[in-house]
Amino acid sequence: MKKIIFDCDNTMGVAGCDVDDGLALIYLLGKSSAEVLGITTTYGNSDVETVYANTVRMLSDLGRSDIPVLKGCASKEQLESEAAEYILKTVRANKGNISLLATGSLTNLYAAYLLDHTILEQITEVVLMGGIQQELIINGILLNELNFSCDPAATACVLKNARNLSIITGNHCLDAFFAKQEFNERLSSCDQPIGKYIVQTCSY
């Protein structure tokens, strides 16, 4: 069983904001080979207060309020948070068996590193969503890099010190585009309640 800390800026269900973090969470919760130990919230898609409240609500909707949600650093200038403390405590308690998936700014990981300079080396694998390989154009709009630029110092620290590191850039998301009609038809007709939940939550 892979034990996961999900460090994210989940705004699925917040009108006008991205849905990718929430969909990633639903995927993780449906994997029998994965256990989400906790979710640490960060800024990026929105401010940390919005992300925190939205993630707590989403877990309640999904019947998974048993998973702890920890509020992270509000900005790259604030380097103390319950999320950083949680990362430290959980990694130490599960030595050699923690995967950390980070899909927002990396300030929480940096804050944990500042408390213990060995902590990134103790995480079994670190998977990041960020960076670009070429121009990132979505709906005809040229976008900037999505996560690493939120906190360059944190990004540099994680890239330098994490072991078993994987990076998924925004360019990988482009292959997942589909029409709204197909989205509604496929998920509304899904036998699983989660299909209808995704339609309702992502309809905007």
Instruction: Tell me the pLDDT tens digit for each residue of 19-57.
Output: 999 999 999 999 999 999 999 999 999 999 999 999 999
H or E stretch including 8?
A: strand 2-8
pTM of the model: 0.94
The total domain count for the chain is 1
27-35 LR contacts (CB < 8 Å, sep 24+): 28/4, 28/101, 29/62, 29/64, 30/194, 33/1, 33/2, 34/1, 34/2, 34/4, 35/1, 35/2, 35/3, 35/4
CA 192 to chain centre: 24
What is the C-alpha to C-alpha distance for residues 152 and 174, in angstroms, rounded to an integer? Answer: 24
Q: Is the model's pLDDT at 203 over the cut of 90?
A: no
Give the range of the structural domain holding residue 110, as residue numbers without chain letter.
Answer: 2-202
Average pLDDT across the chain, whole number: 93
Instruction: For 59-118, write each residue's pLDDT tens digit.
Output: 999 999 999 999 999 999 999 999 999 999 999 999 889 999 999 999 999 999 999 999
What is the C-alpha to C-alpha distance for residues 201 and 204, in angstroms, rounded to an integer? Answer: 8
Cα–Cα distance list, 111 to 82, 127, 145, 162 (Å) = 10, 17, 22, 14
Instruction: For 112-148, write each residue's pLDDT tens digit.
Output: 999 999 999 999 999 999 998 888 887 788 888 889 9
What is the C-alpha to C-alpha distance for residues 137 and 29, in angstroms, rounded to an integer? Answer: 30
Q: Which pLDDT does position 35 carry in this prediction?
A: 97
Q: Which of the four pLDDT bands, split at 50, 70 and 90, describes residue 3?
A: very high
Instruction: For 150-194, write each residue's pLDDT tens digit.
Output: 999 999 999 999 999 999 998 887 777 788 899 888 898 888 899
CATH at 75 = 3.90.245.10
Reduce the DSSP state of residue 154 to 3 states and report it.
helix
Q: Which pLDDT does position 95 carry in this prediction?
A: 86
Q: Which pLDDT does position 171 carry in this prediction?
A: 82
- Residues ≥6 apart with Cβ < 8 Å to 167: 127, 128, 129, 130, 131
